[in-house]
Chains A and B, each alone.
Chain A
Amino acid sequence: MIELFLILNIIAAIIALESKNLLSSIISLGGVGFGLAIIMLFLGAPDVAIVQILVEVVLLIILIRSTIDRDHTRIKCHKEFFSLVTGGAFLGVMLIFVILALQDLPQFGTAMAFGPDRIIPSLEYLSGSLSETGAPNVVTSVLLDYRGYDTLGEATVLFAAIIGALAILRKTKAEKKSKDEK
């Protein structure tokens, strides 16, 4: 079932990249994101799936805002031979290394944390969550209790990025003046 939705995701991703119209490629990207949310539900991660749906909606709004009132949303097609060749070579080298790395991974379905070389924190969180933090949902107890500083850092990054985006989009005085003169 997971594989089926992954194939759907891959098709949506290819359409998103190869479509000539920017708006339709953004909507195909929405297909990738929402398909991913369904896969997350199959993987036993409802919290992540909810966040993924929420983020995908906001992301589509941001991306559509960036293209909807632009004139050139259709892309002129000119492929450069050189960039294709270098890109292909780069991907090939990367592929070799990734296949080598995949050999060391445990079988799919045997979670790494519970394998022979187990990572202790995951088991501690699972067994101690209810008695130590009082939260039956282990993911939220990890986010807000065991690793609360991590979430604080996340909020900081979020804040910094939004401030950065506002600073970039802000109109300077000179720009306002030139707009008034027009």
Chain B
Amino acid sequence: MISLPVTYSLCLVLFFIGLYGIVTKKNAVKIIISIIIMENSVNLFLLLVGYRKDGIAPIMTEGMSVEKFVSGAVDPLTQAMVLTSIVIGLSVVALMVAIAIRIYERFNTFDVSEIKDLKG
């Protein structure tokens, strides 16, 4: 029996929009935008997996017992990893944009199908 949870499916739709963009778009900046969308959806998916219903943020407040905190907080590990991945994603995008700017200076276009010098 096939069952699709709503939240995961919407996250999946976001991922597929990014994938569609990467496969079909010709403009270099559009491809970078698609990659960013995919990246966002993957980060969101990891957070969704670590979420617990009515969970509180994993920050201890004053007067909160450890037992109550452990039974109520959402998963801190996925959050820490997603934080790392977001920052790395930014640096990767900076690299991609640098390459795109170089391509524009060399060929005077963002269209990847018009870059013919690399073909043998």
Contacts and interface: CB of A to CB of B under 8 A. Distances in A.
Interface of A: 2-3, 6-7, 9-10, 13-14, 16-17, 22, 25-26, 29, 32-33, 36, 39-40, 43-48, 51-52, 55, 58-59, 62-63, 65-67, 70-72, 75-76, 78-79, 83-84, 86-87, 90-91, 94-95, 98-99, 102-103, 105, 107-114, 119, 121-123, 125-127, 129-130, 136-139, 142-143, 147, 150-151, 154, 157-158, 161-162, 164-166, 168-169
Contacts of A32: 36-37, 40
Overall SS of chain A's interface: helix
A166 to B, nearest CB: 8
**Number of chain B interface residues as a range:** 35 or more
A8 B102 CA distance: 34
B60 A136 contact: yes
Contacts of A3: 6-7, 10
A98 to B, nearest CB: 6
Interface of B: 2-14, 16-21, 23-27, 29-30, 32-34, 36-37, 40, 43-44, 47-53, 55-61, 66, 69-70, 73-80, 82-84, 86-95, 97-102, 104, 108-111
